[in-house]
C-alpha cells in the first residue's frame, strides 16, 4: 500500500510536470488552503526536494 506522503507528492509532481504553476496550485491545495494534510507536509517536502521539484513548495 502506498503511503499518504508518497501519494500526495506523486499528485503534486504530476501537476508540476505540466507546469510549475500547476504544481504550486496543487501544493497549495494540500498544504496552504487547508490543514487537513499538515502531518504529511514535512515528508512530502523531502520527497519533492529529493526529486528536484523544490520549485513547487510555496508558503502562500
Question: In this predicted model, what pLDDT tens digit does every residue of 23-36 receive, in sequence order?
Answer: 999 999 999 999 99
Is residue 33 exposed (0-12), middle (13-18) or buried (19+ Cβ within 10 Å)?
exposed
pLDDT of residue 55: 97
Q: Which residues of the chain have pLDDT under 70?
A: none
Percent of the chain with pLDDT over 90: 93
pLDDT of residue 13: 98
pTM, entire model: 0.93
Q: How far apart are CA 16 and CA 36, in angstroms?
A: 21
Domain-by-domain residue ranges, the chain? 4-56
pLDDT of residue 1: 76
Looking at residue 3, what DSSP letter applies?
Answer: -
Is residue 48 exposed (0-12), middle (13-18) or buried (19+ Cβ within 10 Å)?
buried
pLDDT of residue 22: 98
Q: How far apart are CA 14 and CA 38, in angstroms?
A: 20
Amino acid at each position: 500500500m502506498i503511503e499518504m506522503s508518497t501519494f500526495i507528492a506523486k499528485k503534486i509532481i504530476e501537476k508540476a510536470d505540466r507546469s510549475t504553476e500547476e504544481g504550486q496550485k496543487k501544493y497549495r491545495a494540500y498544504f496552504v488552503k487547508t490543514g487537513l494534510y499538515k502531518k504529511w507536509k514535512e515528508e512530502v517536502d523531502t520527497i519533492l526536494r529529493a526529486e528536484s521539484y523544490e520549485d513547487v513548495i510555496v508558503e502562500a
